Amino acid sequence: MRVIALVTGQNGQVARSLAALATQHVEFVTVGRPELDITDAASVARVIERVGPAVVVNPAAYTAVDKAESEPDAALAVNHIGARNVAEAAAAANLPVIHFSTDYVFAGNKQDRYGEDDRTGPTGVYGRSKLAGEAAVAAANPAHVILRTAWVYSPYGANFLKTMLRLAAERDVLRVVGDQQGTPTYAPDIAAGVAAVIDRIVADPQGLDWRGVFHMVAQGETDWAEFAETIFAVSSRLGGPSAAVERITTAEYPTPARRPANSRLVTAKLRRVFGHELPDWRNGVERCLTAINAG
């Protein structure tokens, strides 16, 4: 049986990866502004009625982490109120909702990887707005899956990998922070994970174990400097731009929003409940750069 999944937004990395995903079981229909504006509850309800999906997927978000510090109302309008609007509209149509969140809901000061039940403690506006969105989704729709991911990149839009390629074409040496740990996660791998989540929901729509918060990131861990070094090693091999990397500390690269020093997330719950795990982060870098190189 092939089901329809409505995806909020059209231009984001996850939305575009979902739109490009070919699966036998799920057809992803992406709808963005102005037709679907998640800050407008009526527009969400109208699109759900028109599309007639079996599940609603909400990757739409305000993701300008530094800008959010000076635009808290704009971040909350999308990440909190918008998330609530989507979850409420899905619940009114008796549909499950899959909502995306972030590693920024944690303070980042834990020594080990964060599990889903670890204490949250966002340090900036962006993280607080996303945590508020998580709570709103859970309160509005019992049939919810909240997927926390991190360090997302893809051939689409603006992201760290593409920024490194652009800067490497201009400079021989790049200074990159080396004391923040996490896991780069390839957006098409997230899309494949979403398909697995939907398969599980469709197979057992009344199930209780698939509801709740899950971490969805690639396997392995690294830091931003090693991520950049890996990007350049693969890019150079494929004939693309590369640069030398000079490791620096977070203190040497101040930003308006504080970044978590530790963004490593435990993914065992995702594997246990959905039978799915994402590939190693290095595998994603290889495939992303191959896709970019192919044009």
- Please tell me the predicted confidence (pLDDT) of residue 5: 97
- Please tell me the predicted confidence (pLDDT) of residue 17: 97
- Please tell me the predicted confidence (pLDDT) of residue 160: 98
Catalytic residues: 126
- 253 and 175 in contact (C-beta within 8 Å)? yes
Answer whether residue 172 is part of any domain: no
Answer whether residue 93 is part of any domain: yes
Q: How do residues 228-284 score in pLDDT, each as one tens digit?
A: 999 999 999 999 999 999 999 999 999 999 999 999 999 999 999 999 999 999 999
Residue 22 pLDDT exceeds 80? no
Q: How do residues 110-161 score in pLDDT, each as one tens digit?
A: 999 999 999 999 999 999 999 999 999 999 999 999 999 999 999 999 999 9
Answer whether residue 273 is part of any domain: yes
Rounded Cα–Cα distance for residues 101 and 146 (Å)? 7
3-state helix/strand/coil string of the chain? CCEEEEEECCCCHHHHHHHHCCCCCEEEEEECCCCCCCCCHHHHHHHHHHHCCCEEEECCCCCCCCHHHCCHHHHHHHHHHHHHHHHHHHHHCCCCEEEEEEHHHCCCCCCCCECCCCCCCCCCHHHHHHHHHHHHHHHHCCCEEEEEECCEECCCCCCHHHHHHHHHCCCCEEEEECCCEECCEEHHHHHHHHHHHHHHHHHCCCCCCCCEEEECCCECCEEHHHHHHHHHHHHHHCCCCCCEEEEECHHHCCCCCCCCCECCECCHHHHHHHCCCCCEHHHHHHHHHHHHHCC
Rounded Cα–Cα distance for residues 201 and 109 (Å)? 34
Answer whether residue 25 is part of any domain: yes
- Please tell me the predicted confidence (pLDDT) of residue 295: 72
Which residues are CB-neighbours of 220 under 8 A, at least 6 positions away?
183, 280, 281, 282
- The pair of structure tokens assigned to 141 is 């729709």
- Residue 48 belongs to domain spanning: 3-158+185-218+265-279
Answer whether residue 248 is part of any domain: no
Q: Which of 288, 281, 290 is nearest to 237 (CA)?
A: 290
Q: How do residues 60-101 score in pLDDT, each as one tens digit?
A: 999 999 999 999 999 999 999 999 999 999 999 999 999 999
Answer whether residue 213 is part of any domain: yes
- Please tell me the predicted confidence (pLDDT) of residue 23: 81
Answer whether residue 289 is part of any domain: no
Residue 182 pLDDT exceeds 90? yes
Q: How do beta strands 97-102 and 244-248 pair? A: unpaired
Answer whether residue 228 is part of any domain: no
Residue 39 pLDDT exceeds 90? yes
CATH classification of the domain holding 146: 3.40.50.720
| Structural domains in the chain (count) | 1
- Please tell me the predicted confidence (pLDDT) of residue 194: 98
- Please tell me the predicted confidence (pLDDT) of residue 294: 84
